[in-house]
Structure 1
Amino acid sequence: MAGIDRARAFLDAARGALADDPRAHAELDLCEHRMYQPVRVALAGSLKAGKSTLLNALVGQDIAPTDATECTRVVTWYRSGRSPSVTAHIDDGRTVGIPVTRIDGRLGFDFGRLTADRVDHLDVEWPARALQSTTIVDTPGTASLSTELSDSTIRLLAPRGESGSDEARGRSGVDAVVYLLRSLTATDTAMLRRIGTAIGGSSGPLGVVGVVSRADELGAGRMDAMISAQQIAGRFAGELERTGLCQAVVPVAGLLALAARTLREVEFRALAQLASTPGAELEAALLTMDRFARPDILPDIPADLRRSLAERFGVFGIRLAVTLIRFGATSSTELAAELVERSGLSELSAIIDTQFAQRADELKSHSALVTLDHLLAASASPRAAQLRASVRRELADVHGFRELRLLSTIRVGGLDLPPEQIADLTRLIGGSGIDPATRLGQPTGTDVPDLRASAIQAARTWRSLAGHPLIAPDVASACQVAVRSAEGIVARLDEQRSPFGTGDFSVGTHSPLG
């Protein structure tokens, strides 16, 4: 796919081809407006999958209500703002300010007399660093594991065709989706297929990542819960890889991640006290969370504090924190970092950064071209048909998608190469960042001739490996992806040196995600 500048050129050409269609012009204006905004990432999945908790963990602040209230039944946009504010967009076109409340420490939005069915969506502005480069959209879940997502979520992620058919029409309101799974049902796979078509068009799920959510609960709070979750995520990833519905699947314990990112000093001291408690006594107290919070259990730690620990960390989180303290975590900062890493949030954040945030321009451009493809298809103008052919050629080049698929394969250990070659391959295809220097393992500020020489050498190295007569077919295919990535760097560096170059360093001449 083209970069931002090329996508804008297509939009300008479409304005001429669709000059007699005011509705199409309004859509084109929206497309261009979106390209100036942060990349839009939606959290979707089944009811009670933990979307709001995961959002809070990603942001590092308690900004999304997690109770089953009216506000969790509404599509909610979280954007960067100078001060916290919540605005409800009503079905009659009005906007109403919504007060932010905290009851017993829990954040909520006070709808007053409004009900969820009257609210089209909420806009939340919040001063959070994570929202400066990414707008996160929290969506309502399914009514049950066997029902379809709510209509408001469908309209946002994968709107139906003009005739009302179930076929997605491809004008998704977001650029990428993190889809939370408790299990892998037919409803989930059908929705993932629909989302992938809406966001990626014919290129596939360019911006879809799966999360095995509430992963700590899969092992009933045992210390090996995350190992079980990783095995399940691997199985899900294999099934979704075969069907092409996801780029990656990772396990995340959202509750633990949020507690770790908001860990208070008083909680660390209480956990340190628990770590000094004899093992048998502690395990007896952790038989149930109600028992753990009883006044006559562990009297040296106030019952209210133990109840708060149970609500914020869960059994798995408490056991893990205690174990880490016993093995040497001596401060709240050190413990928090270990817990975040073991919760799976670090891996998910890295995926969101490398596959969404760093490729934001490419994702937004791709979203614009998918919408443009549908607008031009609805026109009978010969000029529109000609332009659509060019747009579809841009969309047909899916090298960026191949990079992301290969990153997913590497992540689950599905490529038989030595560790040093895996590291080089991961870096070259954008696993650590998409700028040329990072891809080539060169220091920031390396001059263009040196980068170009390094890229040419990388292309030769991986082409030679791909042609080895004893190499496995899947490894040969991965090597060809690396060759294409290296050649794309050379092409972009040459454009940069040209007086007519765009300065766009995305990899691949017409790569979907660079």
Structure 2
Amino acid sequence: MTSVPYASDEAAPLCARTAAQLRWAVELLPDGPLRTDVEAVTRRLADRTIRVAVGGRLNAGKSTLVNALLGQRLAASGATERTTVNVWFRYHPLPGVTVHLVDGTSTLVAAGPGGGVPVDLPVDHRQVSHLTVRTPDRRIDREFVLIDTPGSDSPTHLDDYAMAAVRQADVLLYVMHSPGEVDRQALEEFQATVTGAGLPARNVLGVLSRMDAVSDDRPPDQRRADAHRLAARAAQRLAGLVAEVLPVAGLVAQTARGVDFTERHATALRGLAGLDEPARARLLDVDDQRFLGRLGQLPIPVPVEDCRELLDLLGRFGIREALSVLDSGVADTPDLLAVLAHRCGIEQVVGTLRDRFISVADPLRAHSALEQVRAALARTPVSVADGPGRQALRETFARLAREPELRRVALADVLQAHVRGDLVLPEDASGHLRDLVSGRTTVERFGLAADTPAELRDRLRELTRRWRSLESRTPRAHRRLVTDVREVLELSYFAEAGAAAELAVAVDAGAARPPETPHGAESSNRSATGRKAPRCAEEPTIR
């Protein structure tokens, strides 16, 4: 069939090119579920930021983490979990809350405390599709859109309602108090449900939300070290389900990045900093009730109500951390909060979101969109009427398979297999793979001494030759992973070095040979396994 002209402008973002291709295919689809699904994916590509869903079990600390990431208390949080619906947080100059109902209608309702989620809804939550909380703070969705989901009503799975929001996300932060077997079961069910929708393990971050509850009898610095060791063990146990596990002290994170901590609270902390260590221990090495009871016995004038608010804002763990920061010589309140944000783990979560996902938002979202279209094709029965549209979608996959950045997103799976120990690589190849996955620039991705066309072409030729050699020596069970890396390098060569046109001519002439193929190699282009090796000119499958 005749295809739509393919936009070759490399300055155009991948999402825009993907959306253009999908819009073309949609016009060839008849009205029905498949067309509706593809249209929804196309509309989603209009967003310029990734979507991050926060999920987990009941009372796991999801909403507290959401507030920390938002920088203000908009999500309902507390000792009793109150989130019963999926909540989206978006910037808008006019604050408010919109209730979107399952019948497609919507209504405005009064916002809750601080302009956030209402405590009560005027309709049965079972009639609600989701809420949108609008806030005039431009920071809210500048880097990512946050979706808060209800806690699962069963300890062994995320319920279908929360799953509906997760399927619309690019990244999941899975929050848990401790990485027990129950969380493994929940994550396994989650993976089985949404992998086909384009959210594999590489896009899931585990968050241990109670760093402050680890080794409760030890000083804060030792608790932090213990929490990181626990997170590392959790990542090993949950290998294949999450990309990484990070520890966070949720309450401290919410306060350190929020707006509730004032100079009055800082003054109260400075008063407590005047206590010697035995007096601090008598005050803090007890439960919350006894802490409050001993405030009146302090030998320094610190208002009891201010200390009560400190307990609500930071907890005893956070108060200890704050006193330690003050002891180190930090005096200004903004600097105090910045150090607390680092120590409580929230800055590492934000940094990981930026490094792993926001920095590659364009290919990540394009890849996710294509996977969602694949899932829609798989679940929709084939009909004669939608034949031309399905063919158009297949052509779209084939065109976009030539995009190195789109293929590079999937290399996170290869790196994860290597980290787990499934794929054994030489030390230099391990470094190449890590650079290729995490590098933000051409220089970082390919280890260039200088970012010049000639240097890039030579480096890509060298790397491709190394990975082709490694491919031939890799056991069959994991060879496909090495092949993926080699193909990305080849595609990068032709895209980055501007040789795509030369390759097309060579293929038409029947004489194509990848640039790294040694002189004298078999012209049949067969790999060491005897199977025909895929050429760059062919359209690799987008996984």
* Match of residue 401 from structure 1: 410
More deviation, 6-15/454-463: 454-463
Pick aligned residue for 1:429 from 433, 436, 439: 436
* 8 A contact 1:400–1:511 mirrored in 2: no
Judge conservation of contact 1:76–1:137 (CA < 8 Å) in 2. yes
Counterpart-to-counterpart distance in 2, 1:101 and 1:333: 27
1:77–1:138 contact (8 Å) kept in structure 2: yes
Q: Counterparts of 2:459 and 2:312 in 1: how far apart (Å)? A: 51
Confirm or deny: 8 A CA contact 2:53 2:165 kept in the other structure: no
Distance 1:398 1:221 in 2: 48
Matched with 2:456 is 452
Report if aligned partners of 1:247, 1:405 keep a CA contact under 8 Å in 2. no
**How much has 1:139 moved relative to structure 2?**
0.0
Count residues with an aligned counterpart.
Answer: 479
What is the root-mean-square deviation in Å for CA atoms of aligned residues? 4.3
Deviation (angstroms), 1:449: 1.9
Partner Cα separation in structure 1 for residue 323 and residue 541 of structure 2: 48
Q: Which amino acid aligns with 1:182?
A: H
- Using the alignment, how far apart are the partners of 1:179 and 1:323 within structure 2? 30
Match of 2:344 in 1: 343
- How far the C-alpha of 1:355 sits from its partner, in A, is 2.2
Q: Which residue of 1 aligns with 2:55?
A: 44
Q: In the aligned structure 2, how far is the partner of 1:234 from the partner of 1:195?
A: 21
* Of 439, 460, 465, the match for 2:445: 439
Residue correspondence of structure 1 range 94-133 to structure 2 within 5 A: 94-102=105-113, 109-111=118-120, 113-126=122-135, 127-133=137-143
Structure 1 position 338, deviation (Å): 2.0
The equivalent residue for 1:296 is: 296
- Structure 1 residues 11 and 258 mapped into 2: Cα distance closer, same or farther (>3 Å)? same
Structure 1 residue 259: deviation in Å? 1.7
Aligned to 2:529: none
Distance in 1 (CA, whole Å) between partners of 2:16 and 2:498 is 14
SS at structure 2 position matched to 1:120: strand
Matching residue of 1:85: 96
Distance apart, 1:106 and its partner CA: 10
TM-score scaled by length of structure 2: 0.74
- The aligned runs of 1:250-265 (5 Å cut-off) are 250-262=246-258, 263-265=261-263
Distance 2:358 2:469 in 1: 31
Checking the alignment, whether the CA contact within 8 Å between 2:257 and 2:337 is kept in structure 1 is yes
Matches within 5 A, 1:101-500: 101-102=112-113, 109-111=118-120, 113-126=122-135, 127-144=137-154, 146-157=155-166, 172-185=167-180, 187-196=182-191, 199-201=194-196, 204-220=200-216, 222=218, 223=220, 224-241=222-239, 244-262=240-258, 263-286=261-284, 287-294=286-293, 295-298=295-298, 299-377=300-378, 378=380, 379-381=382-384, 382-383=387-388, 386=391, 399-403=408-412, 406=415, 426=434, 428-431=435-438, 433=440, 435-440=441-446, 448-449=452-453, 452-453=456-457, 455-456=459-460, 459=463, 487=490, 489-495=492-498
Query: 2: CA distance between counterparts of 1:79 and 1:499?
Result: 47
Counterpart contact for 1:39–1:175, Cα < 8 Å: yes
| Contact 2:57–2:151 under 8 Å retained in 1 | yes
Cα deviation for residue 81 of structure 1 reads: 2.0
Q: What residue identity is the alignment partner of 1:352?
A: L
Change (3 A) 1:121 1:460: closer
The structure-2 alpha-carbon separation of the partners of 1:201 and 1:375, relative to structure 1 and needing over 3 Å to count, comes to closer
Larger of the two Rg values belongs to structure: 2
Q: Is the 8 A contact 2:58 2:81 kept in 1?
A: no
| Matches of 2:502 and 2:109, distance apart in 1 | 52
Query: Cα distance 1:464–1:305, how it changes in 2: closer, same or farther (>3 A)?
Result: farther
Aligned counterpart in structure 2 of residue 33 of structure 1, from 43, 55, 58:
43
CA separation in 2, counterparts of 1:110 and 1:340? 28
> CA 1:67 to 1:495, structure 2 compared with 1: closer, same or farther past 3 Å?
farther
CA contact (8 A) 1:455 1:489 kept: no
Range with bigger deviation, 31-40 or 386-395 = 386-395
Contact residue 75 and residue 122 of structure 1 kept, 8 A: yes
Write the deviation string for residues 387-444 of structure 1: whole angstroms up to 9, x where unpaired.
56567777899653333662797699x99998x9988764x224353x424535779x
Amino acid at match of 1:493: E
d(CA) in 2 for partners of 1:313, 1:6: 47
Q: Secondary structure at the match of 1:65?
A: coil
SS of the equivalent of 1:329 reads: coil
CA contact (8 A) 1:46 1:181 kept: yes
Residue 30 to residue 480, structure 1, CA distance change in 2 (3 Å): closer
- Contact map agreement 1:101 1:107 (CA 8 A) in 2: yes
Q: Which residue of 2 aligns with 1:53?
A: 64
Are 2:248 and 2:344, in contact at CA under 8 Å, matched by a contact in 1?
A: yes
Aligned to 1:15: 26
Structure 1 residues 304 and 46: CA distance shift in structure 2, 3 A: same
